[in-house]
Structure 1
Amino acid sequence: MNQIVLMYHDVYMSDLSESGFRRERDYPYKLPLDVFERQVAAIYNYCKDNNLPQESVVFTFDDGGCSFYHLIADVLEKYGYVGHFYVTTKYIGTDGFLTPEEIKGLGARGHVVGSHAHTHEHLYKLTPEQVREEWMQSVTILNGILGHKVTEASIPNGDTSDVVLKYCYESGLKDVFTSRPTNKKGSYKDMNLYGRYVVLCDTSDEYLLSIIGSSFTRKKLALKWSIIYCVKKILGDRYVQLKNLVYRNK
């Protein structure tokens, strides 16, 4: 089985606004701590029962919320997993987001810290020079905090394009994670591209394990993504407006 990469965002104890972005449309991406730990335990046991190495499943986390350090890392370490934490550098040190000390702490604990661009703006709305600055600025900031070169990133808002990949590459990144639901590794020049499977607040343990264990489930998700991608290309900015409206009405 090819490696399955999961895409999480924030985890919270009692309030959705504890960590990360506080926009209502971000709430479907936030999980209660007990639900998150139950999922990690279920994945751990599934891999163990099926003689799969722990590296079969990779846990990634977007945005840079303070729960990365205070909640998520503890759970991952309990089950022997390494987290891949992608930070939106504009928000470092602001309320609900990681501080520079916590970012360094994640690295010291053996986790991977990478870029999630600088502002989390929709990259397709920006000029090529602005896209370049998103990656260059973010990587420079993280390099300075960590004291070593950052080589991983995840692309915010699913805005993968040739321009985005070009400037990821020029920023010195080696491994880039997208929002496309696939477990097939791609490439851009000699930079590795990985797809991911998003986990939402209503993702059941059973469905999560079917993503890991069932090629049929993964094929259905790939088809759904392809349809949404086409709609997104057709609607442009109107797709984002529609998406935001749907989340506001939940």
Structure 2
Amino acid sequence: MNTPLVLMYHGIVTEWTVLPKEREAGADLYDVQLPNFQAQMQRLSADGYKVETVNGNSENLSPKSVVLTFDDGEMNNYEHAFPVLKKHRFPAYFFIIASRVGKKGYMGWDELRALHAYGMVIGSHGFSHEILTNLLDTQIEEELKASKRYLEYNLKIPIDALSIPRGFCDDKVIRMAYEAGYKHIFISERPRKLQSECYSRVAVKSGWTLRRVQQTLDGQTPVIEEVTGMSKRIIKRVFGEGVYDWVRRSLLKIK
């Protein structure tokens, strides 16, 4: 399977953006200000990057292929990201937390239908945004299948793409996702021991400059980020993903 560069976005915000109260601690680390997002998309367009989806097309991706994804389904994706994507005629994936559709700060069915009508891909981000590796097999199956059924029933479209919630996954979760009927599975950073076919992604963070985004497009990672990433992987391996997430969320709540 070819592996294109996949960029992972979350909130696209302005100073007036109403943020959902259901957000997890630390979500603001991934909020990209609208002017920065506009500049990033302009760079992709001006430099001739081919923004596309992977639906049945992964073997034919060009060296300058970029895939855009948006996690969580916040309303700011529709209000801010969607107009910019339309301007450049860029397709993208929007991964939806099924249980939050229509809640304050999240897109409703009308917004999701409008995205789909334009050519955007609607995918699942789990039913309730749980860390799947912490759940029993029956719970994992329900999270995967219930979100797919709920989105398909209300949108009347196939839901073939999945973004694993919270970035924690293993081969069992990926296998169960394929068994649930998903065809394209996206994760965050790929665990070293993971053998399953899926698409890893690079998370675009709030503090990234245009130069930092260009480094990602060029396949470069700053040394400090490599060291930080290695430290996180060691902590996850030694203490487990559940403990890592709990510590992370606890530290982020400290003012």
Number of the residue aligned with 1:131: 140
Partner letter of residue 217 of structure 1? T
Q: 1:200 to 1:37 in 2, by over 3 A?
A: same
Identity among equivalent pairs (%): 27
Number of the residue aligned with 1:209: 214
Number of the residue aligned with 1:43: 44
* Cα distance in structure 1, aligned partners of 2:21 and 2:222: 28
How many residues are paired up? Answer: 239
Given the alignment of the two structures, is residue 167 of structure 1 paired with residue 168 of structure 2, yes or no?
no
Number of the residue aligned with 1:229: 233
Q: 1:22 to 1:220 in 2, by over 3 A?
A: closer
Number of the residue aligned with 2:88: 79
| 1:127, distance to aligned residue in structure 2 (A) | 0.5
- Aligned match of 2:248 in 225, 243, 247? 243
| 1:222, distance to aligned residue in structure 2 (A) | 6.5
Q: 1:2 to 1:232 in 2, by over 3 A?
A: closer
The Cα offsets for residues 92-117 of structure 1, whole Å up to 9 and x where unpaired, read as: 11111111121111100110000001
2:186–2:200 Cα contact (<8 Å) kept: yes
Given the alignment of the two structures, is residue 53 of structure 1 paired with residue 50 of structure 2, yes or no?
yes
Secondary structure of the 2:6 match is: strand
Secondary structure of the 1:42 match is: helix
TM-score by length of 1: 0.86
1:66–1:98 Cα contact (<8 Å) kept: yes
Given the alignment of the two structures, is residue 157 of structure 1 paired with residue 166 of structure 2, yes or no?
yes
Q: 1:122 to 1:37 in 2, by over 3 A?
A: same
Q: 1:175 to 1:6 in 2, by over 3 A?
A: same
Unaligned runs of 5+ in 1: none
1:181–1:222 Cα contact (<8 Å) kept: no
The Cα offsets for residues 27-49 of structure 1, whole Å up to 9 and x where unpaired, read as: 11112211211111122223x2x
| 1:16, distance to aligned residue in structure 2 (A) | 5.5
- Aligned match of 1:108 in 94, 111, 117? 117
* Cα distance in structure 2, aligned partners of 1:110 and 1:20: 29
1:12–1:19 Cα contact (<8 Å) kept: no
Number of the residue aligned with 1:96: 105
| 1:205, distance to aligned residue in structure 2 (A) | 0.9
Unaligned runs of 5+ in 2: 53-64
Secondary structure of the 1:117 match is: coil
Partner letter of residue 203 of structure 2? V
Partner letter of residue 143 of structure 1? E
* Cα distance in structure 1, aligned partners of 2:166 and 2:51: 28
* Cα distance in structure 2, aligned partners of 1:118 and 1:42: 34
